[in-house]
Chains A and B, each alone.
Chain A
Amino acid sequence: MSLKHLPETYHDPLRAARAGHDAGLPLIGCIGVGIPEEVILASGAMPTALVPKAEGRTPIADTFMDPGEQPELRSLLEQIAQPSPDFMTLAVLTAPYGGLAETIEDLRRADLLPNAVAIHYFELQAEQSDASYRYAADRIRALASRMGAVTGQYVTDEKLSDAIAATNLRRQALRRFNAARREAPLISGTEAFQAIGAARFLQPAAFTAALEDMLASLHPDQSLNGRPRVLLIPSEPLTHSHAHEAIEAAGALVIGEDDPLGARGAESDIRSGGDPVQAIATHYVDAIAGARSFPAVHRLNWFHAQAVKPDVDAVIFYGQNPRYGWDHPAMRQFLESQGKLSLFIRADARNAGGFAQVESTTRAFITSLRDQAA
């Protein structure tokens, strides 16, 4: 398999989905992070992430959505409203896209989205408690029931266990990959992030094999030596690699990111044995990361554990979404107490101006890092 397979998949996310569709697999579009794909796989369908596109025309969304609305939402509405004919069987949305799901159903009720694909909204509670786990199990059973109705294949415990086994193998491969990426300068952060990101578009076994191949082929890259090694803390899960690209264009190396779509994406396996629904429920509640997660210890534990490691030269906070940031002063204070330098950038690297801002700010930051080291 070509070493470019994963980055190419990242850049053409629906390529594998088209192949799956041609092979007769029902396609399930997934919007948001934390949808238990094991349930989808157990129903004989293929999950594939629907990625918001920063550019491109959105004529349907433009009719309904405010010009100031986030381009992600506009793009996702467009993809739901006008899918390729008979391409997608169902779209599953999760937080923070509850409002988008409501909008879609509201428009559908008014007969304003005649071609929109059917949707299913799936949301877990973020608090780690018995009540949350029970609620999660209930919502997973509801998703399984919907998937069974959509694909005609009943979701059994056996099929769920098989799916768990497949995704756990992928998680293990991802952990090995992230450890290797961290251990030595083998790969740029951009390429690593893209490779990890391809997991959302490939069947688990295909992805695992491709990632193992990639890992086996990696050797220390001299061009990455001497670059400041930074942790990237984005304000929200990144569905693009532009922030990585801008930071690395400035001369840094991103060795990890506090992002479920990156280095945090495979922290633990789903427990095998026992009730698979309960195991999936527990896993996905515990894995909720980012702004929703509380108490703060759950939200910040990865950051606290990783940022203090000696291989981290500095931390870059990337504030793509200005809504987030109430944790930032305390996080910065923590870094200062650990003698780590940090940079906060409020910009959107998906557009040219934002990209330039991230790059130039990082470049100046690196200069100050080097001056300080000297």
Chain B
Amino acid sequence: MTDPKATRGAQSRARNDLDCTPLIRGAQKEWFANLREEVAAGHPYIYTDAYSPHEILEAFDLPHVINEWWSGIVAARRQSAYYFDELERQGYHSGLERYTALGLATLIDEGKAEPPWGGLPKPAFICCSAMSGRAEATARWEVMAKAWDVPLLMTEIPMTGRPMPARWWENVRHGWEHLYPTYQLDRMTDAYWALIRQCEQLTGTRFDIDKLRAVMDRANLQQTYFEDIRDTIIAGKSPVSMSEQLGNVMTIQWRRGSQWATDAAELFRDEIAERAARQDYSCPNEAYRLTWFGAGLWQNTAFYRAFEESHSTIFARSMYMSIAIDGYPRYGGDPVRALASRYCGIGLGNLEWEIHDTKRHRADGVVTVANNVSGRTRAAIAQAGLPLLILDVDLVDGRTWDEARIMDQMHRFIEDQVIPGHARH
């Protein structure tokens, strides 16, 4: 068997400070091991993506694995270089989007290498979303469904050509019905009922709308715990590093609506509050703050802590926890329609929100990678008076990592732009 860890790419590992972190991550690993056992025993699970309504699956007690999470796991285990080589060897050219391709890569590798945590078991079906702006993903999902020989249920999210309403995050939790065009909301609601019918067929159980409501309530509650954490990070020095925050938030978020996720978020929140109360910070000499813009640098989350000692600089903000807080909660009304409204426009990438959130985190600069930047991003960040560094590296592909070059770029950015900018303000 090939050793996929014969790696290129970053080698450093992030240090964790929180007591809850090994508990959360251990529980996730255990959950996945149990899932593999249950699937082997004939129980169904669903392979899905980030833009699908996981709460519906949860309401059917259908365990689900999220493609983006799996990509993150593979990348974090420094196996991406091997799998991307393998994809290209099989004819998938190097220009194809990589961030969400690692699920397919581990599948079609057919066990030539040892995948993380024993690998993905075969799901009952794939449940994913399609958007005209990401049309290239459609074929990838179909390739994956064919490789597994499972049905593919794809929900199209209709685009409206309208930007998110101004300051949407202030109203969306309760006022979602009025934030999106009715025709879009109607269509999405219909599509989710089609998914519900599919789940009924698979499980042989009738959909229980009260159960979905309870799942939504738990998911909403979970986000309030995250909001407490964000408030703490905003209020003073950060008690949690970005690398640790990312791992914990996403592990919880991908199981949102379950009792485990709600409890884990509360545990995480409580420890952050305790650390803040005793002034136990992840970087005690924290002086400067950065925001990471866009999807995370999953191939090397240790990067986020690499400037604490040398430059008293931390990454205080990424989109992941903030979108969970501002974009996910939905209160009131028909829970299926409420859920549909989330995916009519979740707010991810909305520049007004990104900049507002960056500023409330008191960030002195923005760092990202080229793949995360398009359209108005650069102009909007400049207009907000924030220095921006765009690294030429892929989020998950370890082959693109050049430690010396990236560190040099970061050091110069902090010294030449972030620190002087902080002094001016």
Report A's interface with B, CB cutoff 8 A. 63-69, 73, 93, 95-99, 101-103, 105-107, 109, 119-121, 123, 125-127, 131, 135, 138-139, 142, 290-296, 299, 319, 322-330, 332, 344, 346
Stretch from B133-141, B356-364, B414-422 at the A interface: B133-141
* Nearest B residue to A63, CB-CB: B379
Q: Which of A63, A73, A127 contacts B156 (CB 8 A)?
A: A127
The distance in angstroms between the C-alpha atoms of A96 and B136, with both chains bound, is 11
Q: Taking the nearest CB of chain A, how far is it from the CB of B354, in angstroms? A: 13
Q: What are the residues of chain B within 8 A of A93 when measuring CB–CB?
A: 161
**Residue B198 CB within 8 A of the other chain:** no
* Nearest B residue to A293, CB-CB: B138
The distance in angstroms between the C-alpha atoms of A365 and B241, with both chains bound, is 54
Q: Which of A68, A98, A125 contacts B373 (CB 8 A)?
A: A68
Contact B130 A66 (CB under 8 A): no
Contact B370 A296 (CB under 8 A): no
Q: What are the residues of chain A within 8 A of B140 when measuring CB–CB?
A: 326
Q: What are the residues of chain B within 8 A of A322 when measuring CB–CB?
A: 93, 95-96
Report B's interface with A, CB cutoff 8 A. 90-93, 95-97, 130-133, 135-136, 138-140, 142-143, 152, 154, 156, 158-163, 166, 183, 187, 190-191, 194, 351, 370, 373-379
Q: Taking the nearest CB of chain B, how far is it from the CB of A253, in angstroms? A: 26
Q: Which of A292, A330, A346 contacts B93 (CB 8 A)?
A: A346
Contact A125 B96 (CB under 8 A): no
Contact A101 B136 (CB under 8 A): no
Number of cross-chain contacts by CB at 8 Å: 143
Contact B375 A69 (CB under 8 A): yes
Q: Which of A102, A319, A324, A329 contacts B91 (CB 8 A)?
A: A329
Q: Taking the nearest CB of chain A, how far is it from the CB of B183, in angstroms? A: 6
Q: What are the residues of chain B within 8 A of A96 when measuring CB–CB?
A: 132-133, 135
Contact B161 A325 (CB under 8 A): no
Contact A291 B138 (CB under 8 A): yes
Contact A123 B374 (CB under 8 A): no
With A96-B135, A296-B139: A125-B158 Cβ-Cβ less than 8 Å: yes
The distance in angstroms between the C-alpha atoms of A98 and B187, with both chains bound, is 17
| Supplied contacts A135-B187, A139-B183, A326-B140, 8 more A-B pairs, CB within 8 Å | A65-B375, A66-B376, A66-B379, A102-B161, A123-B132, A125-B158, A323-B97, A346-B95
Contact A292 B130 (CB under 8 A): yes
Give the residue among A73, A99, A322 with the most B Cβ atoms within 10 A. Answer: A99
Q: What are the residues of chain B within 8 A of A324 when measuring CB–CB?
A: 96, 136, 139
Contact A131 B130 (CB under 8 A): no
Contact B374 A66 (CB under 8 A): yes
Q: Taking the nearest CB of chain A, how far is it from the CB of B105, in angstroms? A: 12
Give the residue among A98, A107, A346 with the most B Cβ atoms within 10 A. Answer: A98
The distance in angstroms between the C-alpha atoms of A142 and B97, with both chains bound, is 35
* Nearest A residue to B97, CB-CB: A323
9 sample A-B contacts, Cβ–Cβ < 8 Å, listed by A number: A64-B379, A66-B379, A96-B132, A96-B135, A123-B161, A323-B96, A324-B139, A326-B143, A329-B91
Report the 10 A-B pairs with minimum CB-CB distance, sorted nearest first. A121-B161, A322-B95, A101-B161, A98-B159, A95-B132, A329-B91, A326-B139, A291-B135, A106-B163, A326-B140
The distance in angstroms between the C-alpha atoms of A120 and B373, with both chains bound, is 26
